[in-house]
Chain A
Amino acid sequence: MAEKNNDVVLSVKDLHVYFYTNQRCNKVIRGVSFDIKRGRTLCVVGESGCGKSVTANSILRLLPELSRIEEGSITYYKEDGTEVRLDQLEKNGKQMRKLRGEDIAIIFQDPMTALNPVYTVGKQIEEMLKEHKKGMTKAQYKDAAIEDLADMGIPAPDIRYGEYPHQFSGGMRQRSMIAMGMSCEPKILLADEPTTALDVTISAQIFDLMNNLKKEHNTAIMMITHNMGVVAEMADDVAVMYMGNIVEYGPVEKIFTNPSHPYTQALLRSIPVLGKGKNQQLEPIRGSTPDPFKRPKGCQFCPRCDYACERCQNEMPPEEWVTEGHYVRCFNYKEVTESGK
């Protein structure tokens, strides 16, 4: 990765995560590197199964049992300047547990199932507070939880505090999840497709909320999505993932105006544009995602790529810097960038 500056809160370097099922090894993450910076939103885009969620879960060490971080490092930079190697911590050990929620929080995709149905929403927020902010009185916990709910724009938070998740609408539940995530003022918020299960207006509200958090608390946000519109709206930085690699990474302007990887270009071409009329031509990406157990030898995108050359078939392209802070994994990126313009 490029220069190390003080804005970086979390740095992932050359991360490899493998899943072991039925005596087979699925190399889900094959060398992923990126930085999450204070007060900025990193959007990770890519199709289903490309490893977006696994990356987020690796950071918090919430991976399922049959998986392992094989290589690489995840480094968390505390505000006091110390570095914590998350990949080396014990999975559910004391140190990792202390970081979860307090320093790094996560919001899951489906707020319908992410809250425990048998406890009140208030109690579930309090549980987080009690774990990390010990020594408050009962009433203080309650007030704090109500305040968290109020901060997320939930009306009548003192009543909502005592209600169960099934009495909440989807949007309200996701807000409560964010309230829970933000209750200990974490430095990093990981959002794993936070609005996939919600409708568009509610999504917009959730995004506003997250943008506010970013501004007010200087929280670093890593947001996983497969919606390019969300990326354009939210992102400061973008990481485009394909089959376990980040194929292109950079500031959002660069990615949208100067896409240098054939996959990024193809993604952008496949989005309908509002106002272009009914007859606009959408270009789907030809072919389909390869079987993770029968991956191409070289560049993972090679079989579907228009620019593929012989080298692509045998070798995985390294990360090549296009401009500062903008890298791409493509041998022919210069040609790709030119033709994309």
Chain B
Amino acid sequence: MVNFTLRKLLGMIPMLLIITFLIYAGIELMPGDVIDFLIPMDQLAEMTAEEVAAFRAAKGLDGPMIVRYFNWLLGVCKGDLGYSLQNNMPVAELMMQKLPATVELSLASLILSSFLGILLGVISALKKGKIADNVLTVAGMIGVAIPQFLFGIFCIILFALNLQWFPVGQRGAGGLLSELHHLFLPAFALGISQTAGVMRYSRSAMLDSMNCDYVKTARAKGLPEWKVNMLHGFRVACTPVMVLIGFRLPTLISGAIVIENIFQWPGVGVWFTDAIKTQNTPIIMSVGLFMVLMVLLSSLLVDILTAVLDPRVKLS
């Protein structure tokens, strides 16, 4: 297992290089010149070509893209994420301010959607063809189809403004209870499609499992129904569901950006979209690097989890 993990981690390096390079190239391909965002237009008009070039050089914006990419890479290897072009603040410091909120939201959403999705999926499978199953099936389709931002706004209007069960937005302060109270609605809105997806998938995995002979064996042993359903049916259905959850984890991270905007969540979301708009390369690259790392790590986690859950899977 240790061996496997190490090999997988090493294997991530080339992937990280390729993906970060692609992001860097993407920023480069964006229309407009970053200088336009850094110097007000009237000032820029008065500057001479030499002055502009000097400014570029000072910001490290001169030279061919490939050189600048490797400079950035070198910095990252040394633990230096660079400085924001806008206000010269160190990116690492800014990240430390914004990232916890985003991670908190994504994690909460992951836990909520997995728990809810699996629970409803299993209920749906055990009540197959009954009213509960039909209702959940329709709800599941709506959940998968509805755009996140729409659902987020809908949640705010219904649960925050009309029913006033939850605060409209922002992160809670002062005590765990207040934090959870603020966290629930955005986490729920962020996880809606994940919940629906996990639910549909759990239902079919559970049905598959319940149709297998070992469930009949379990019943023939005289086990009570809950043991038959949970220890035999659900335990086997677990593996594919975990894989699905792991692979959909990235959508939670990227989806957080939209939801953070709607719920005024003080995470990287708004900051990141602003950075893209102003071509703030160090910020885009740092957040991008973080997301890519999350995706790769979650796929590693899926591999390990599968091997833990299913003894037939060997890590090699």
Query: Could you say which residues of chain B place their CB within 8 Å of the CB of A92?
Result: 219, 224-225
Q: A98-B222, A101-B220 are in contact. Are A108 and B213 (CB under 8 A)?
A: yes
Partner of B212, one of A60, A113, A124, A132: A113
Partner of A118, one of B217, B218, B310: B310
Q: At the interface, yes or no: A116 with Cβ under 8 Å from chain B?
A: yes
Question: In this complex, which of B212, B221, B232, B312 has the most chain A Cβ atoms within 10 angstroms of its Cβ?
Answer: B221
Closest to A114 in B: B213
Asked whether, in the complex, the Cβ of B311 is within 8 Å of the Cβ of A101, the reply is: no
Q: At the interface, yes or no: A306 with Cβ under 8 Å from chain B?
A: no
Q: A118-B310, A118-B311, A166-B311 are in contact. Are A62 and B216 (CB under 8 A)?
A: yes
Query: Could you say which residues of chain B place their CB within 8 Å of the CB of A114?
Result: 213-214, 216-217
Complex CA gap A118/B309 in Å reads 7
Query: Could you say which residues of chain B place their CB within 8 Å of the CB of A284?
Result: none
Asked whether, in the complex, the Cβ of A131 is within 8 Å of the Cβ of B221, the reply is: yes
Asked whether, in the complex, the Cβ of A117 is within 8 Å of the Cβ of B220, the reply is: no
Asked whether, in the complex, the Cβ of A127 is within 8 Å of the Cβ of B223, the reply is: yes
Asked whether, in the complex, the Cβ of A116 is within 8 Å of the Cβ of B217, the reply is: yes
Q: At the interface, yes or no: A105 with Cβ under 8 Å from chain B?
A: yes
Asked whether, in the complex, the Cβ of B312 is within 8 Å of the Cβ of A164, the reply is: yes
The proximity string for B residues 278-316 relative to A, scoring 1 for CB distances below 8 Å and 0 otherwise, is: 000000000000000000000000000000011110000
Query: Could you say which residues of chain A place their CB within 8 Å of the CB of B212?
Result: 113
Complex CA gap A102/B223 in Å reads 11
Asked whether, in the complex, the Cβ of B225 is within 8 Å of the Cβ of A62, the reply is: no
B contact residues, range: 20 to 34
Q: A164-B311, A164-B312, A166-B311 are in contact. Are A117 and B221 (CB under 8 A)?
A: no
Query: Could you say which residues of chain B place their CB within 8 Å of the CB of A68?
Result: none
Asked whether, in the complex, the Cβ of B221 is within 8 Å of the Cβ of A101, the reply is: yes
Q: At the interface, yes or no: A228 with Cβ under 8 Å from chain B?
A: no
Query: Could you say which residues of chain B place their CB within 8 Å of the CB of A180?
Result: 217, 221
Q: At the interface, yes or no: A42 with Cβ under 8 Å from chain B?
A: no
Complex CA gap A114/B212 in Å reads 8
Q: At the interface, yes or no: B277 with Cβ under 8 Å from chain A?
A: no
The proximity string for A residues 106-120 relative to B, scoring 1 for CB distances below 8 Å and 0 otherwise, is: 101010011111111
Asked whether, in the complex, the Cβ of A116 is within 8 Å of the Cβ of B232, the reply is: yes
CB distance from A189 to the nearest CB of B (A): 11
Complex CA gap A113/B214 in Å reads 6
Closest to A131 in B: B222
Q: At the interface, yes or no: B107 with Cβ under 8 Å from chain A?
A: no
Q: At the interface, yes or no: B276 with Cβ under 8 Å from chain A?
A: no
CB distance from B73 to the nearest CB of A (A): 44
Asked whether, in the complex, the Cβ of A110 is within 8 Å of the Cβ of B222, the reply is: no
Closest to B233 in A: A116
Closest to B219 in A: A62
Asked whether, in the complex, the Cβ of A110 is within 8 Å of the Cβ of B213, the reply is: yes
B198-242 contacts to A, CB under 8 A, are: 212-214, 216-225, 232, 235-236, 239
Q: At the interface, yes or no: A128 with Cβ under 8 Å from chain B?
A: yes
Measured CB to CB, the residues of B under 8 A from A are 212-214, 216-225, 232, 235-236, 239, 309-312
Can you sample 13 A-B contacts with CB below 8 Å?
Answer: A99-B222, A100-B219, A100-B222, A101-B220, A106-B220, A113-B214, A116-B236, A117-B312, A118-B310, A128-B221, A128-B222, A131-B221, A180-B221
Query: With A101-B222, A119-B235 given, can you name 11 additional A-B contacts, CB distance below 8 Å?
Result: A92-B224, A97-B222, A99-B222, A100-B220, A106-B220, A113-B213, A115-B214, A116-B218, A117-B311, A127-B221, A164-B311
When A and B form their complex, which 6 residue pairs have the shortest distance between CB atoms, in order from nearest?
A100-B222, A116-B214, A113-B213, A101-B222, A97-B222, A114-B213
